[in-house]
Structures are given as C-alpha cells and as structure tokens.
Amino acid sequence: MDTLLIARRFRGPPESANGGYFAGAVAQRAGCTVTVRLRRPPPLETALSVHEESAGRLQIRDGDALVGECEPATLALTPPPHPRYLEAVEASRDYAGFRYHRFPGCFVCGTERVRGDGMRVFAGPLRELGLVAAPWVPDTSLDRGDGKVQAEFMSAALDCPGYYAVAADDRMLLLAEYTVHVDRLVHVGEACTVVGWAISGSGRKREAGTALYDGKGELCGRARALWIEPRPRAAD
C-alpha cells in the first residue's frame, strides 16, 4: 500500500496541507487528470494511506478517517484574456494579503514565507480584466531534477489565486473540490504569470478558475476549484 506524507513546509493553515499541493500530490499518484475532494484538512507529517479503488480512483486515509478522494475527470475550462508578466507584477502590489492574511505561513501565498521556502504567489486585482494576477518565478527547491518544476508545485501555484478571485472581502472559505490539468511543466527560474477569476457563486459556495502561463505567455496549467464558506458555529 502506498503512503502520502505532507511535509510541514507545504502547509496552508498552520496544521494542515495547502489544498492545491495536496491535490497535486494525489493527482500524481492517480496518474491522470482527476477531481480531488477534500473531506477534512490533510494533516502534516503524517503517513496517510493511499487506497486504489480502481484506475484513477483513490482514497486517502488517516487511519479510518477519510481525508480526501479522487476520480478521473476532464477539465473543461477556457481562461479569459490574460495580462502580461509586468502587468501581473503591478497587480501583485495590491495583494490583499499584504494588509491582512488569515494564514501568513501558507506555502503558496503566505507573506511570512521567504524566497526559497514559500512560493510567494501574491495575486492582486486587475479590475479591467475581471481577474487577479500574480508573477511567479519558481526557485530551485521546486526542481524535479531536470530543470523543470514538479507538477504538484504547479498545482499548488494554481490554488490560492482562485481564493483571492472569489473572496475579495477576505471571508473564510475552505477548498472542497479541485480539478487541475498540467499541460506542460514550466522551468525553474522562468518568469511565469498566474491568474484567477470567479466562475460562479451561490449561497456558501464559490467556484473559481485559475491558469498558469510560462515566460512566453503560453498556457501551461489550469484548475477549477470549489470553495465553501463554513457554517457559523452554533452559540454555546
């Protein structure tokens, strides 16, 4: 039986994995494009068991507790017109996380993470395009060994910009479902652009799309995410 262990470096909230990284790690084990459903926060530094139900269908468990599951999927997602890299740099100056951040230690978008440790994907608004955008230059720690970025890190980069596309008011949202497709791996040191946009919203649910472009402006990865606002806790 395979196992999956998420190192503390790859956290989102202080005690659980970044959702996009977790989904990317699960997709790598499935070996195809999948929809990953997160049933509870993936714990850190814990050997999670990976159970193959059928081709592309996995369950990730912490003992008897179901942490996540996936099934094969086809990602139908057409990104809107995207900005140039320097426009993304300018947009990132207005990143909402610079003013307040729920999880400043997040591997992807945390403001407390330094270069070479966190990914520092700071997506700010481009209102004229109706999206958020961030520059991203992958560092050498993300290298899979041949100068290209590991796929799970591309999956991670596509996560947090989706949140900032649908939570401009910084409301608490949890990643519930994530479908990611990597068209091709980007290179370490490449000046990439990541964008996110709102797809739909109803009640406590928000759906976002994200896309990642290489230094030449070519589409290299896409993701579709479902974010859910937790129910208010009942008063004691």
Question: Which domains does the chain possess?
Answer: 2-72 (3.10.129.10), 85-228 (3.10.129.10)
pLDDT at residue 231 in the model: 80
pLDDT at residue 1 in the model: 66
Cβ count near 189 (within 10 Å): 14
CA 120 to chain centre: 12
pLDDT at residue 232 in the model: 76
pLDDT at residue 234 in the model: 57
Residues in the chain with pLDDT values less than 70: 1, 233-236
